[in-house]
Structure 1
Amino acid sequence: MTLLPDRDGVFRERRTVRVDAPVDVTWSCIADLGGAPGWYAANRLWALRGRVDRLLGGPGLRSRPDRALRTGDAVDGWRVHDIRHGRSLTLRSEQRMPGRAFLTHEAVAAPDGPTSVLEQRLEWHPDGWRGRLMWWLELPAHVLVMRAMVRGMGAAAERRAARPDLANLLS
């Protein structure tokens, strides 16, 4: 959690969870983000944020495609900025707010076994004092939601790994 921006004026957050699942299964959960499982935590809050965004003139909630994501695809109020299939997904927010947000999830092999590490990174590039104020006002709820999201995604990967038939079906 970052209360102050770095030298470039960017607020950055990073969370990791150890996942008792192979990288390909963890990746399948990342790749499903915004689809059937939603956002793995606080789906009603995400929906509320989408409705507020729509009222402010933003895109609100848009459904994602029913296929593997590609750069440029819409995922609710986000757009796929970068995707490295089997490894990482970076979304860029298109919601109406005073700044730019990027959300990345990455799955890497754990160094000591057949498990994986799921990393979540968030960057907030505020536009002026309104952007910094928004960061600080949303921070408490934001931390709880993002923490629950990465943990929920990790737990979903572990459930899929425990049911290989399900992991193969969903990836």
Structure 2
Amino acid sequence: MGLISSLAVFLVTEKLDLPAEALKWISLPYGLGAIIGGIATFALATKITPRRLLQTGLLVNGMGIILAGLSTKLWITMTAQFIIALLQPAIFVGNNALVMQHTDQNFIGRVMGIRTPLMTGAMLLMMSAAGVLKNTLSLILVYLLAGLCFFAGLLITVPKGSR
């Protein structure tokens, strides 16, 4: 999300041809989706395996990001933002649960302690590169690349025998 999080205003002004003040209309469904998604993920976390949570979140986020990047209609962009946020908690919960399952108990604190700053740093780097990439490539292409990154993450989670 670091790659596109700073580009939402351009999605509104360039793709949707709306004033920057209209950013609230794609932020609102995102916030609502995050709240509902958090509650739903909490309720379903014991019924769905962490890998399946992670995979579902990655797949839906990848598709939602691409849809948001291609959309020229406000309602489609709002729907994409809602769907993206709805499944983001599944990514976080699935990822954290997998780390807990596959890390020796003595190293969980160290793994989480190094992983969090690495993820934050990667997000900051990508947010910094987003403007340059948008100007070099295009807004649509940056959104497509971001969606493809989620699909690449999804492929990594598929067990080797089933690829």
Q: Which has the higher strand share?
A: 1
Greater relative contact order, per chain length (Cα 8 Å cut-off, separation 6+): 2
Whether TM exceeds 0.5 here: the answer is no
TM-score by length of 2: 0.31
